[in-house]
Structure 1
Amino acid sequence: MLTRVENVLAAATLGAATVIAIVAILVRYLFGIFLWWSEEAIIYLIIYSTFIGAVVTLRHNEHVNVDVFGPFLRARGKRALAVIAAAVTVVYLVCIGALAWLLLFEPFSTSTITPALKLPLWVVELAVPIGLTLMLVRALEILVRNARGVEAFAEGERSLLEVEAEATGLDPRDVERSVKRDDEEENGR
């Protein structure tokens, strides 16, 4: 369920930014009308998609990391190191996430209005605590899985295509057949 929510939010915000950008360009060039609010809306939507997209990358273990000690450790040491890393991540997200939620209640956030859309600033800033809270949930999941000795990234054993297809409600086999058919058509040319 959480995977589906993350995917929908990340895709919807980025998709909305894309649609607004395309419409703004078309309206400007075809009719000479400038959508004065479009640039600000696109920026805010991309901010939301970035913080929610960070959760998706954490879910798939695609964040940049440097594994200095891992090659020198055996399986048990790697597991311990993974638990420590996940615990540090959880502590970091709790601290920064708490500060992000407090930021929303600062007088500056509640009294400032955005220039074009006339939104309270806290609406824009809400992307940060939402993204960090969702990341905390995922980091706790990873910590528990590492501590139990279970594959921390359950999706790691399956293809990204399968995981994302299931998260969007599609049958992974249909998606795989479609991709295979597209590849065959492309190679046949």
Structure 2
Amino acid sequence: MFLRILDRFEETFISFLMVSAVVIIFVAVCQRYSISLLADLVSWARANGHESLMAMARSTYRSVVSLNLLWAQELCIYLFVWMAKFGAAYGVRVGIHVGVDVLVNSVGPRWRHLLVVISLSSGALFTAIVAWIGGKFVYGIAQTAQVSADLEVPVWIVYLAVPSGSLLMCFRFLQALMNFIQTGHLPQHQPGADLMDETERGVSESEGARA
């Protein structure tokens, strides 16, 4: 039950970060180009004597300029940092990390088992160390009043992505290690496998309803 909730939270959180970053970037870019287009429209309307159009364009220009989106770039950077850390943990869970397995595949089953255990244990140890060091750093910076430049949020909230993401990644390494010891299988991601399963399920349901 806990693992199912954690998996769902991980996927939802990463999706939320991605959607938020895309929406913020889209709005910021639209505002930037709208300012330029509205300024050109005001100039064109003035040159051609369209007073009503010029007034409307000028009013819209002032409204768009008044929107303060200077914080958008900074927020998107922070969102991508959090997305990268939690995305790395998700990659360990589903087995989509790039790995060099030439040596592992060239040895016998016994040595392969040992090498996989060593690599997973090393990954868990490394991410645990990063989480520990990151946690100490976050705790230290939380004692200060340092805030970010544009958003003016406490900096420790931004850096919290390092220990939390690394801790989750360490848990995923340990989860993969225990699963490998018990079953001998590693997480394997097969693109399109979920879609194929859903298609086959739909075909089976259709045939069952037809029968």
TM (norm. structure 1) is 0.78
Unpaired runs of at least 5, structure 1: 166-171, 178-189
Q: Equivalent of 1:10, from 14, 18, 22?
A: 14
Match of 2:24 in 1: 20
Structure 1 stretches of at least 4 aligned residues deviating more than 4 Å after TM superposition: 160-163, 174-177
Match of 1:72 in 2: 106
Alpha-carbon distance in structure 2 between the residues aligned to 1:112 and 1:79: 48
Q: Percent identity?
A: 26
Alpha-carbon distance in structure 2 between the residues aligned to 1:175 and 1:134: 33
- Residues 64-92 of structure 1: per-residue CA shift (max 9 Å, x gap): 22224213311222111111111111111
Question: What is the CA-CA distance between 1:102 and the residue it aligns to?
Answer: 0.9
Q: Give runs of aligned pairs for residues 1-189 of structure 1, distance below 5 A.
A: 1=4, 2-30=6-34, 31-32=64-65, 33=67, 35-107=69-141, 110-153=144-187, 156=188, 159-161=190-192, 173=198
Is the 1:24–1:34 Cα contact (8 Å) retained in structure 2? no
Alpha-carbon distance in structure 2 between the residues aligned to 1:149 and 1:77: 16
Alpha-carbon distance in structure 1 between the residues aligned to 2:98 and 2:112: 18
Question: What is the CA-CA distance between 1:100 and the residue it aligns to?
Answer: 0.9
The farther-off stretch of 65-74 and 78-87 is 65-74
Alpha-carbon distance in structure 2 between the residues aligned to 1:176 and 1:20: 37
Give the superposed CA RMSD: 2.5
Question: What is the CA-CA distance between 1:107 and the residue it aligns to?
Answer: 3.8
Question: What is the CA-CA distance between 1:25 and the residue it aligns to?
Answer: 1.5
Alpha-carbon distance in structure 1 between the residues aligned to 2:104 and 2:191: 24
SS in 1 for 2:148: coil
Is the 1:90–1:140 Cα contact (8 Å) retained in structure 2? yes
Unpaired runs of at least 5, structure 2: 35-63, 203-211
Q: 1:19 to 1:3 in 2, by over 3 A?
A: same
**How many residue pairs end up in the alignment?**
168
Alpha-carbon distance in structure 2 between the residues aligned to 1:117 and 1:75: 53
TM (norm. structure 2) is 0.70
Alpha-carbon distance in structure 2 between the residues aligned to 1:176 and 1:13: 31
- Residues 44-72 of structure 1: per-residue CA shift (max 9 Å, x gap): 11111111111121122222222242133
- Residues 17-53 of structure 1: per-residue CA shift (max 9 Å, x gap): 1100111112232234451111111111111111111
Q: Which has the larger radius of gyration?
A: 2
Question: What is the CA-CA distance between 1:176 and the residue it aligns to?
Answer: 8.6
Is the 2:141–2:156 Cα contact (8 Å) retained in structure 1? no
Q: 1:148 to 1:64 in 2, by over 3 A?
A: same
